[in-house]
């Protein structure tokens, strides 16, 4: 969160700084199967965010002591490219922030991947942020979900992620960098759309009960559009399949 002393005006004429309404997403485009060497991959552009996700595996779990003969394990790596950020946001190499996001993303995916199908195996998920503008963990997880489906990994559901925030009394959807830094609350969520299960919920700032309920409702509503784009990307990749 930025300093409250130099807090910029985040709403102008009932709209947000980039001209969006409160429940409007930034333009989202996903492309599946962009990397030849990976088992599955996806490239995502979400507003100014650009993320590349790749999935490898199942391969032999390494190091050996982490392998589990009853089920597979998931390894996740979220990393920002050194050139991705505007300020010092995207420093290269593992840091506290990327370790945290890798962990929460891994835990979200462990809930949907059918790990019993891959005993002693390891599934590696890479999320590389090429350009960042707030909400990169949501962008990374949404892209990685498409990459997992593209790799043919057995999953219960294809998750999506988006964040909600609060500017004054207004709940807003899909916060960008400046809103993320100066808004009153920021709440990224990961949802499994089949039953609307919440797999990840983090919150920075504060929301009261009514505001929280409204934020969840907005996220679930927007999720339909995000899931539709994920589906479109995969169907475009396997395009001629339906003509079969």
Partner 1 sequence: MRSIVLPGEEAQGARHAPCTYYENGRVYSSAIGMLDTERGGVIPLEGPWSPRIGEQVVGTVTDSKNHVYTVDLSYYCRALIIGSRYDRESVEIGDVIEATIKNIEDRSVLILSYPKTLLGGVLVNIKPAKVPRVIGKEDTMLRQIEGLTRTRMVVGRNGVAWIKGKPQDTELAMRAISLIEAKAHQQGLTETVKMMLENESRNRKGE
The reply on whether position 5 binds partner 1 by CB under 8 A is no
Q: How far is the CB of 195 from partner 1 (least distance, A)?
A: 9
Candidates 70, 87, 88, 209; binder of partner 1 (CB under 8 A) is: 70
Between CA 13 and CA 22 the distance in angstroms is 12
Candidates 28, 40, 74, 219; binder of partner 1 (CB under 8 A) is: 40
Between CA 222 and CA 53 the distance in angstroms is 22
Q: How many CB atoms are closer than 10 A to CB 244?
A: 4
Q: What angle do CA 221, 196, 16 make, to 5 degrees?
A: 30
Nearer to partner 1, 1 or 228 (CB): 228
- Count residues binding partner 1 (CB under 8 A): 39
Q: Which two tokens stand for residue 82?
A: 């050194």
- Report the DSSP pairing between strands 15-16 and 11-12: antiparallel
The reply on whether position 223 binds partner 1 by CB under 8 A is no
x/- contact string, 106-135, with partner 1 (CB under 8 A)?
Answer: ------x-x--xxxxxx-------------
Nearer to partner 1, 158 or 216 (CB): 158
x/- contact string, 83-102, with partner 1 (CB under 8 A)?
Answer: --------------------
Q: Are 2 and 177 in contact (CB under 8 A)?
A: no
x/- contact string, 131-160, with partner 1 (CB under 8 A)?
Answer: ------------------xxxxxxxxxx--
Q: What angle do CA 169, 171, 174 make, to 5 degrees?
A: 145
| 236-to-3, 45, 51, 155, 241 alpha-carbon distances in Å | 44, 16, 19, 20, 9
Nearer to partner 1, 22 or 237 (CB): 237
Q: Which residues contact 238 (CB under 8 A, 6 or more apart)?
A: none
Q: How far is the CB of 85 from partner 1 (least distance, A)?
A: 33
Binding site for partner 1 (CB under 8 A): 39-40, 57-60, 69-70, 112, 114, 117-122, 149-158, 192-194, 230-231, 234-235, 238, 240-244
């Amino acid at each position: 969160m930025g300093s409250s002393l130099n807090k910029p005006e985040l709403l102008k004429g009932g709209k947000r700084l980039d001209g969006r309404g409160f429940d409007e997403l930034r333009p989202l485009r996903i492309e599946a199967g962009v990397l030849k060497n990976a088992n599955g991959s996806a490239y995502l552009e979400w507003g100014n965010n650009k993320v590349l996700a790749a999935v490898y595996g199942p391969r032999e779990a390494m190091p050996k002591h982490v392998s589990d003969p009853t089920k597979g394990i998931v390894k996740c790596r979220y990393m920002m490219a050194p050139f991705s950020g505007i300020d010092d946001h995207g420093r290269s190499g593992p840091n506290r922030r990327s370790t945290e996001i890798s962990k929460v993303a891994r835990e979200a995916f462990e809930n949907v991947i059918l790990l019993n199908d891959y005993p002693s195996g390891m599934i590696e998920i890479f999320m590389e942020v090429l350009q960042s503008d707030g909400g990169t963990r949501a962008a990374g997880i949404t892209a990685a979900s498409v990459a997992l489906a593209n790799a043919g990994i057995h999953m219960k559901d294809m998750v999506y992620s988006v964040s909600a925030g609060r500017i004054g009394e207004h709940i807003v959807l899909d916060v960008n960098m400046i809103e993320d830094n100066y808004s009153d609350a920021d709440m990224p969520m990961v949802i499994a759309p089949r039953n609307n299960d919440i797999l990840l919920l983090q919150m920075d700032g504060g929301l009261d009960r009514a505001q929280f309920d409204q934020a969840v409702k907005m996220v679930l509503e927007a999720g339909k559009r995000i899931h539709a784009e994920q589906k479109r990307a995969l169907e475009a990749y396997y395009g001629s399949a339906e003509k079969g």
